[in-house]
A and B are shown apart, each in its own frame.
Chain A
Amino acid sequence: MSKATRDRTAREKLAEERRLQAQRDKQKRMLGAVGAAAAVIVVVVGVFVFVNSNRDKAEDFVGALAPTSRASDGSIVMAKAGVTSPVLEVFEDFQCPACKNLEKTSGNTFKQLAADGKAKVVYRPFRLFQQTPLKENSERAANAALCAPGDNWVPFHDKIYAEQPPEGKVGFSNSDLISWAAGLSTPITGDAFTQCVNGAEKSAQVQAMTDYALKVGKVESTPTVKLDGKDITNDAFVPSDLKKAVADAG
């Protein structure tokens, strides 16, 4: 082998070595980028999930419910004596899953705000749904809720939500509604109640409450939560935001 050939071979080897090294470096950078991207994804998503799952955790309710009574328009007022503001209105449909979610997340906060005298809570159930079978489910539940006495209403309200049928399924049968009422810790019973439920005796008032919600309240979807007339539905889904909104209004 001549010297020239040896030199050329050595140069080629060196070049080849450099090329491989560059390739390895590039691969290293690529792996580094993938690792960094994966880390960013995991950390950002993880932190966000953690924060959010804490944000919509339901609070505990302690003490006794504020007194409840039925107003002439069928709505239920939950407030301590003398508390007239701020007014926290809950427009809801017993068949609506988002309403059930609101109840699950913030139901206790509404009760606590009323019990602590920080707000006057007004429940305005109505019938938002227009299509079968949701409409009929809504109608029966709203009617039964109107048949129930105003001073023992909230436990029945909670029970109806707990038994909400899946969407698209027939539910809230009158016989179920009557037996759920009878099973409450302070039972709702009696012929008048049973007849009222079975005979859909409050259907005119359900219609009136629906008209009120849609026309006067300008409610477009359920749930809608209003604080002194202002829509705060998004805040209402986060107990801490709900309390803050009420505190700011009061």
Chain B
Amino acid sequence: MVTETRRAEVLPWITTAARIVLAAILFWAGWAKVTEPPALQKQAVEAYQLLPASLTGLVGYGLPVLEIVLAVLLLVGFATRFVAIISAVLMAVFIGGIASAWARGLSIDCGCFGGGGAVAKGQTKYLSEIIRDVVFLALAVWIARFPRSRASVDGLLGI
């Protein structure tokens, strides 16, 4: 029983920490992109050669601000499980996109934290980019699995 109580006390704090870390990462990633010229945000998406031209603009402009909004929602802890699930899906999409670029032999920067586009052969960092995103995915999955946390709007609302 003692361990059960301890678990119930500690888990929400772990989720709070995960929320803050994931929020910081998402905010940083979104901010780095959103402050670049719109045409370059689009170009980072085009470099993956996955989407039709009609969609690259939508993703190029929309993705950075989506990351920022998710970051803010995670930070305040509102609709935590829902937001964590979206974040997890987003990370899974990123991992898939990078893996696909790698598999097709493209030489691009993932553009995860701004930049993006082609790089010289041998300058790619696909493996480390994927490992990094898997860690972020794990954070999101943790939050989705244990959404109750301290210092959250959800807590105030009694959710």
Q: How far is the CA of A167 from the CA of B46 in the complex (A)?
A: 11
Contacts of B65 in A (CB 8 A): 44-45, 48-49
Q: How far is the CA of A53 from the CA of B59 in the complex (A)?
A: 11
Q: Which of B108-159 contact A (CB under 8 A)?
A: 117-118, 120-121, 154, 157-159
Q: Is B37 within 8 A of A48, CB to CB?
A: no
Q: How far is the CB of B73 from chain A (nearest CB, A)?
A: 6
Which of B1-9, B10-18, B78-86, B91-99 sits within the interface? B78-86
What residue in chain A is nearest B83 (Cβ atoms)?
Answer: A37
Q: Is A97 within 8 A of B43, CB to CB?
A: yes
- CB within 8 Å for A33 and B157 given contacts A41-B69, A237-B37: yes
Contacts of B43 in A (CB 8 A): 97-98, 101
Q: How far is the CB of B79 from chain A (nearest CB, A)?
A: 4
Chain A contact residues, CB within 8 Å of chain B:
26, 29-30, 33-34, 36-38, 40-41, 44-45, 48-49, 52-53, 55-56, 97-98, 101-102, 104-105, 131, 167-168, 233-234, 236-238
Q: How far is the CA of A222 from the CA of B127 in the complex (A)?
A: 27
Q: Is A34 within 8 A of B118, CB to CB?
A: no
Q: How far is the CA of A151 from the CA of B6 in the complex (A)?
A: 80
Q: How far is the CB of B148 from chain A (nearest CB, A)?
A: 12
- CB within 8 Å for A40 and B38 given contacts A48-B62, A49-B58, A53-B57: no
Q: How far is the CB of B124 from chain A (nearest CB, A)?
A: 12
B40 at interface (Cβ–Cβ under 8 A)?
Answer: yes
B66 at interface (Cβ–Cβ under 8 A)?
Answer: yes
Contacts of A98 in B (CB 8 A): 39-40, 43, 117
Starting from the known contacts A29-B159, A33-B78, A97-B43, 13 additional A-B residue pairs (CB-CB under 8 Å) come to: A30-B79, A33-B159, A37-B79, A38-B79, A48-B62, A48-B65, A49-B61, A49-B65, A56-B37, A97-B117, A101-B39, A104-B39, A237-B40
Contacts of B70 in A (CB 8 A): 41
Q: Is A238 within 8 A of B57, CB to CB?
A: no
The A interface is mostly helix, strand or loop, or mixed, namely helix
Contacts of B159 in A (CB 8 A): 26, 29-30, 33
18 A–B pairs (Cβ distance < 8 Å), ordered by A: A26-B158, A29-B157, A29-B159, A33-B159, A36-B78, A37-B73, A37-B82, A38-B79, A45-B62, A53-B61, A97-B117, A101-B43, A131-B120, A167-B47, A167-B117, A167-B118, A168-B106, A237-B37
Q: Is A38 within 8 A of B82, CB to CB?
A: yes
Contacts of A238 in B (CB 8 A): 37-38
Question: Interface code B38-82, partner A: CB below 8 Å = 1, 0 otherwise?
Answer: 111111001100000000011001100110011001000011001
Q: How far is the CA of A33 from the CA of B158 in the complex (A)?
A: 11
Q: How far is the CA of A101 from the CA of B118 in the complex (A)?
A: 14
Contacts of B46 in A (CB 8 A): 97
For A237, give its contact among B38, B61, B82, B83 (CB under 8 Å).
B38
Contacts of A26 in B (CB 8 A): 158-159
Contacts of A236 in B (CB 8 A): 37
Contacts of B47 in A (CB 8 A): 97, 167
Q: Is B120 within 8 A of A102, CB to CB?
A: no
Q: How far is the CA of A131 from the CA of B121 in the complex (A)?
A: 9
Q: How far is the CA of A239 from the CA of B58 in the complex (A)?
A: 19
Q: How far is the CB of A56 from chain B (nearest CB, A)?
A: 4
Q: How far is the CA of A37 from the CA of B79 in the complex (A)?
A: 6
Q: How far is the CA of A33 from the CA of B39 in the complex (A)?
A: 35
**What are the 5 closest A-B residue pairs judged by CB atoms, nearest first?**
A237-B37, A37-B79, A167-B118, A52-B61, A56-B38
Q: How far is the CA of A234 from the CA of B121 in the complex (A)?
A: 27
